[in-house]
Amino acid sequence: MDKPKVGMVIGASGVTGTPLAEQLAHAGWKIYGVSRRAPQLRGGPFAQFHHVAVDLTDGAATHRALAACADVTHLFHCANDAQADTRLKMIGNTLDAIEAVAPNFANINLLQGTKYYGSYLGPFKTPAKETDPRIPGGDFYYSEEDLVTGRQQGKRWTWTGVRPQAVCGYAAGNPVNLATVLAIYGSIVRELGQPFGFPSTEACFNALIQVVDAELLARGAIYVSTTPECGNRAFNVGNGDMFRWKYMWPALARYFGLELAGPQAYSLREFLSDKQPLWESMTRKYGLKAFPFERTPEWAQGAFSPPNSRLGCEYDFISDTIRVRQAGFAECLDSEQMFLGMFDRFRAEKLIP
């Protein structure tokens, strides 16, 4: 009989951590969710979910908080921070605490991403492969991976990594990602009575891009962390298709009932920068849930240098996903259907009108 699996999701209130906790719950796992505030999971009460509130940058506090989690078998590290040193502290302190108390600890899964390949620095080798050499000056995720691989040497536990493209999903209380920002953009444009213009350049309109549904990503992370053959390797994970905004944009325009328009002179960041009063008015008018609109302009830019941004890359943004498929995880999802399905969910949950 298999030993029971007990997951600990670090960063359980985020757009990747919340779906991961939900997918673990769906699969029957016992779950600890570590975050400063309790995540809001779908599907009723928390049941097997145990929230642990702790500042992981505090080593002593982390040891105290995780001392009662001796049954953990799998760590899923989804937490993020703008400072590399902070990310290192969180991972190091978590491993210190879990290794000290959890005899059946089997795997830590690191949430990485295409920034591993220098995607935010400018044009990069595509499709990016897990075997590609690291990018000089692109130390995003490298130090965390080095910390974990160094700690893992000679241990019974393994590490795995997932490297998604643009993650799309919804986490109540922490919802800022590509899908929600596009839904808000479409709703504002409709409120203003304007055409559905593409808020970026012609080059971006025509470049290839990939995205991933947060729930599919969660299932991929669970799969690789529980499959022995996947141990001590990283995997690109995506929906399985790729597209150009040029051909995706008409479907999104139809969803919002808007006249289609092509590339515009403004970026998404510029468009959103003065729209908070309008959004607050729309929130009252349509009875919408509160949304941290003030975060959207900076999120839309991300770590990219203009004219590139999260919705403004003037180069192909794609990864090779053969490795995870050959390992046995073959789930896929049509990205157009993903966007439209998420927009339906956002409307049902009163995130957009």
Looking at the domain assignment, is residue 353 inside a domain? no
Q: Does residue 137 share a domain with residue 255? A: no
Looking at the domain assignment, is residue 324 inside a domain? no
Q: How many Å apart are CA 91 and CA 312, to the nearest integer?
A: 31
Looking at the domain assignment, is residue 330 inside a domain? no
Asked if residue 47 has pLDDT above 70, the reply is: no
CA 145 to chain centre: 18
Q: Does residue 253 share a domain with residue 180? A: yes
Q: Reduced to 3 DSSP states, what percent helix, strand and coil does the chain have, rounded to the nearest 5?
A: 40, 15, 45
Asked if residue 222 has pLDDT above 80, the reply is: yes
Q: Does residue 160 share a domain with residue 25? A: yes
**pLDDT band at residue 7 under the 50/70/90 scheme:** very high
**pLDDT band at residue 44 under the 50/70/90 scheme:** low
| Residue numbers of the domain that contains 139 | 6-165+212-237
Looking at the domain assignment, is residue 290 inside a domain? yes
Q: Does residue 289 share a domain with residue 174? A: yes
Asked if residue 1 has pLDDT above 50, the reply is: no
Q: Does residue 117 share a domain with residue 46? A: yes
What per-residue confidence (pLDDT) applies to 2? 66
Q: Does residue 144 share a domain with residue 33? A: yes
Alpha helices in the chain (DSSP H): 17-26, 59-66, 84-101, 142-152, 178-192, 202-206, 214-226, 245-255, 268-272, 276-286, 296-301, 322-326, 335-348
3-state secondary structure of 111: strand
Looking at the domain assignment, is residue 251 inside a domain? yes
Q: How many structural domains compose the chain?
A: 2
- The CATH number of the domain holding residue 248 is 3.40.50.720
Q: Does residue 176 share a domain with residue 89? A: no
